[in-house]
Amino acid sequence: MNATLKEPISLGMIEAANRIVMAPLTRSRASDDGVPGRSAATYYAQRASAGLIVSEGICIAPGAAGNPMVPGLWAREQIAAWAPVTTAVHDAGGAIAAQLWHTGRASHPSVQPDGRLPVGPSPIAIDGLTFAANGRTPYVTPRALDTSEISQIVGHYARAAANAREAGFDAVELHSANGYLVDQFLQDNSNQRSDRYGGSIENRVRLLIEIVTALVDTVGPGRVGVRISPASSFQDMADSDPRRLFDHVVRTLAEHDLAYLHVVEPGIDGWRDARHQRDSPIDSAWIRARYPGNIVAAGGYTAESASRAIESGTVDAVAFGRHFIANPDLPRRLIENLPIAEPNRETFYSGGDQGYIDYPVWREPARTN
């Protein structure tokens, strides 16, 4: 029994029943116009025993999308479709935050309005392949945002946050991790601007703080989380001085009334980024020394390691991602040390109900005489 995971916690204004968070998981079940599918309410309600569900990434505007079949929160029909999802989660006793997402350069013209180029801080392409409308294809060189356009992006975040609250979400989480737009502005391999959003660390962090300020102003203190991935090189991310950058990021975020800081650890699936191993990794322990608020950590945790991290005070809650796909009752399985089912990777992004709402909860094996 991992009793520590059962303990309730206040994450800002969110009263979480336990310390287990469902991490955001892209599932590609929305319509082409960003409306979540009819089975989304069932999918999230099945997993409502998490202390907090963080939704899949929800795009803040049509140009924010990076892949096909991802949902949005900019249109009335999207708000209307999310409302039954949040109601179902609440009826099942859970809480849910909307993860607000702009993919920036991690997109492709085939999923952009009118086939336009995706945008980013600078015209620098990701080296690799993306999921585009017709399958895997190389990334393109993005169009650099004009300085005058950036305030519009901030406004899109604020509007999406207001829409999230109207749809019944308990909070919003800013996706500032994994090489998407805000992360692209933070790190100097993707941000080579010469205006007030580039150059110095303070300038590169400016967009993050402007968005956080707008979100808190929109939904209120204690209802905004922020996700960061300081040790990740996913989607070609790197910075010349990551410790100094993220020291400033974390200390500055501590000045805002956040519900939590969501940290992607450097050891997901056993992988560690050699860029950050010269001294010590930028992990939750490194961040705890700089951030006094709630820390939610994600990345390669087991029930036992999650319990130890919480008991040590390094983190306040732990997020689990892919395990939630095949284990809708994951909190019970983690707390009671029950077997963890493995998901079918072929149905992660396949659309439809198979591999989405058909995974069973744990049943005791039938006894034989």
- Residues annotated as part of the active site: 180
**List of long-range contacts for 200-207, beta carbons under 8 Å, 24+ apart:** 201/241, 201/244, 201/245, 201/248, 202/248, 204/245, 205/245, 205/248, 205/249, 205/252, 207/150, 207/153, 207/154, 207/182
SS (H, E, C) 32-72: CCCCCCCCHHHHHHHCCCCCEEEEEEEECCHHHCCCCCCCE
**Who contacts 38 (Cβ-Cβ below 8 Å, separation ≥6)?**
none
* Closest C-alpha among 251, 63, 274, 220 to residue 152: 63
> How many other CB atoms are there within 10 angstroms of residue 115's CB atom?
10
For the chain, how are helix, strand and coil distributed in percent, rounded to 5? 35, 15, 50
- According to DSSP, residue 249 is labeled H
